Amino acid sequence: MAETTGDTLGPVTLEVIRNALPAIANEMAADVSRTSYNMMIYEVRDFCTALLTPDGALVAQNVGGVSHFVADLGALVVDGMAQHGNDFKPGDVIITNHQKVAGQHLNNIVIYMPYFYEGELVMFSMVRAHWIDVGGISTGFGAESHCLDPWQEGLQLDQLKIYEEGKLNELLLKIIRDNIRFPDSSLGDMRSQIAACKLAFRRLDELFDKFGRDTLMAAIKRIFAETEQRCRNVVAQIPDGVYEAESFLDNDGIIKEERLRLHAKVTVDHGKMTIDLSGCTGERKAGINSRTFAGARVAYKALTLPLDSVNEGSFSACEVIIPEGNIMMARYPAPMSGWSTIVPSVVDTIVKALAPAIRDRIPAGHHGLLGGAVVFFGVNPRNGKRFVVQSIEGGGWGGRPHEDGESGSVSICQGDVRNATIESIELKMPVLVEERSLREDSGGAGKHRGGLGIDMRVRNFVEGRWNLHRPRRIDCPPWGIHGGRAGGTGDMLLKLPGEESFTSMDASQHLVPAESVVIVRTGGGGGWGDPLEREPKRVRDDVVEGFVSVEQARRDYAVVVDPRDHALDLAATEQLRHERRMPAAAE
């Protein structure tokens, strides 16, 4: 194997290393899943694991790790090096969540450790994971527009060493423990994150010992270069040009009369892509801001090599322009508790911009949010212990050039995030899940129908507090494309004991009595293509499955289905479609 050193890196060794590095991140993820304490991690999988070089280059991320988490991990390493530099020592463990660098809500805690080989700092292992509480009003998720500065959100931890050369910082640990509501859970998650980082060290020792430092670092450099070139090859198939699109959110939660503009300008030039988000609205007083390249990078990855392992080369041929003060590059101390609210819509807008260039690859808009957040918490009177119910409910994706959109799926930014199982929720929490069902008529009509949203209906058996953050896309639904119709929108609905009907809500930590019922409702995806081109039999099948009502079949698809036995009336359908097409032909 002498050929495998330096510039003569052999192809077999290169492939072994190419697959071994993501395997380390995947094993870290398995470790976190097995040993974490809160359902958002072990059940919902709201985390990512990664390896990075000291200059912030991403070496590997776990398959299915949260997509928008990974976009800015390098910025954290660069900032950590600026703050600690040569002070990093073996056994150090850094904890950080500060919004001034890679702005997210404070629940997203990063634990990372420096890896040394033969005395040289060569890599960092890192886990970013969603803690259920970090003080302030952070329980469950951020409070979005109801949180006006980071100090209301919770503890801000700025590149602090929770362990220094293997020795625990007891004072820092006490400060954290004393200021969060669920210390056993959150600090258990911290230990889980540390264990995963240490696991990575054992695997890296094996790789470095087997291949040597020079070979391994040469392989990483080659992997970056080859990934970049493959991305360029995909982009080179898109016609050169400048493409633009915009979309909107209803408001920021404070100024209810002002829509938020999201604008993407995508320039394709001989294999290079520039994504300019300068046209997005400026930073807000509400906690809907973020500080991240995630929107642009997730879109680029989805358009180039969506199924390949992610590394620094995955983004090298993509220039991202986001000016300071933009809602996507907000300046500290702008509140960021609802940081992720707009990121999926930004991704969708970037993809939408390219619809004229690659018609056969671009879907209609998906529900465009990070899903319906189920958050209920309080004290269980039976045992006196605090509890928190958490889940993320998916919505519908847009219809695609060759098939219908997926139903009940989380957003494009969330990797393998999933909803919590009903069994786990009911076993551990004083609630009853009365319904988790696909929403009839929530998918936008089209030749290829949009996917369906979800209704998650929960009854709480004890007094407690609900986070009911109304979606910011109720008046700006997921768009259809090429003649498709818009998808349905979501909502947060509450019915108190004794009430006959549900009320739309937008509230944080809303106190409710026992026997209250909440519906977390998610949106559907837009339709792709003219609904009159959908085969009548497929529409009838959708009616039978409960995806489309008899009324929507007639209204949007001009398909006549008998409401009693669901028989398809082809003659009436052909006549109705002929009548619908007549005005269009006359124009």
Q: Within the chain, which residues score under 50 in pLDDT?
A: 1-6
Angstrom distances, CA of residue 114 to CA of 95, 189, 515 = 12, 19, 50
- pLDDT for the residue 6: 46
In-domain check, residue 548: yes
547 and 457 in a common domain = no
Angstrom distances, CA of residue 460 to CA of 9, 182, 513, 515, 551 = 61, 20, 8, 5, 34
In-domain check, residue 343: no
In-domain check, residue 285: no
- pLDDT for the residue 253: 87
The total of structural domains in the chain comes to 3
- pLDDT for the residue 4: 45
Q: Among the three residues 502, 531, 560, which one is the final residue of a domain in this structure?
A: 531
149 and 105 in a common domain = yes
In-domain check, residue 234: no
CB-count exposure of residue 2 (10 Å: 0-12, 13-18, 19+): exposed
179 and 35 in a common domain = yes
Cα Rg of the chain, angstroms = 25
In-domain check, residue 48: yes
140 and 62 in a common domain = yes
Write out 215-257 in H/E/C secondary structure: HHHHHHHHHHHHHHHHHHHHHCCCCCEEEEEEEEECCCCCCCC
445 and 493 in a common domain = yes
SS3 category, 114: strand
132 and 58 in a common domain = yes
- pLDDT for the residue 3: 44
Encoding tokens for residue 478?
């997921």
In-domain check, residue 92: yes
- pLDDT for the residue 478: 96
**Whole domain around residue 65: which residue ranges?**
2-227
In-domain check, residue 105: yes
150 and 209 in a common domain = yes
542 and 494 in a common domain = no
10 and 150 in a common domain = yes
Please state, in angstroms and rounded to a whole number, the distance separating the CA atoms of residues 260 and 384.
43
Question: Which residues face 115 on adjacent strands?
Answer: 123
- pLDDT for the residue 144: 65
Residues 553 and 538: beta-carbon distance below 8 Å? no
Q: Among the three residues 164, 194, 227, which one is the final residue of a domain in this structure?
A: 227
Please state, in angstroms and rounded to a whole number, the distance separating the CA atoms of residues 546 and 552.
11
98 and 152 in a common domain = yes
471 and 579 in a common domain = no
Q: Among the three residues 227, 257, 288, which one is the final residue of a domain in this structure?
A: 227
Write out 519-530 in H/E/C secondary structure: EEECCCCCCECC
In-domain check, residue 99: yes
41 and 173 in a common domain = yes
